[in-house]
């Protein structure tokens, strides 16, 4: 409903700052929820995901604002910080057949969605 209200298509979303629990159960549930929100997509692995927790650990009450600040700085600099210490995906998550890919390296944030300059 949020995507519909915002009048954007899931295919226009290029990054999601995830909660990223790094637990065997939590991450698959989060990705399943995102897949449900995105619906069926023809293109695969177009949306990078990351979590500030890989950089700082869980900041308890400050976790949400830390992720928000990271995302705002990423938007400002048009760069995505990597999720460090990521070596292999959770075996319970099928990233290859999803819209998502773990952003495991520093990269330019390239967009192609509505309102994009690129």
Quote the pLDDT of residue 114: 52
Quote the pTM value.
0.87
Quote the pLDDT of residue 105: 93
- Closest by Cα among 18, 9, 93, 85 to 48: 18
What mean pLDDT is predicted for residues 90-102? 95
Higher pLDDT, 20 or 38: 38
CA atoms within 13 A on the CB side of 118: 9
Per the prediction, the chain carries an average pLDDT of: 89
User: CA–CA separation, 108 vs 37, rounded Å?
Assistant: 25
Judged against a pLDDT cut of 80, whether residue 2 lies above it is answered with yes
What mean pLDDT is predicted for residues 78-98? 92
What mean pLDDT is predicted for residues 16-45? 92
Which CATH architecture fits 12-107? 3-Layer(aba) Sandwich (3.40)
- Chain Cα centroid distance, residue 32: 13
């Amino acid at each position: 409903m949020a995507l519909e209200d915002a009048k954007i298509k899931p295919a226009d979303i290029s990054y999601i700052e995830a909660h990223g629990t790094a637990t065997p159960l939590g991450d698959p549930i989060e990705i399943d929820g995102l897949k449900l929100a995105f619906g069926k997509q023809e293109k695969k692995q177009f949306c990078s995901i990351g979590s500030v927790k890989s950089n700082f650990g869980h900041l308890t009450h400050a976790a949400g604002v830390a992720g928000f600040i990271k995302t705002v700085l990423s938007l400002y600099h048009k760069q995505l910080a990597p999720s460090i210490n990521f070596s292999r995906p959770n075996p319970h998550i099928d990233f290859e057949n999803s819209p998502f890919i773990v952003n495991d390296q520093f990269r330019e944030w390239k967009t192609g969605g509505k309102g994009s300059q690129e």
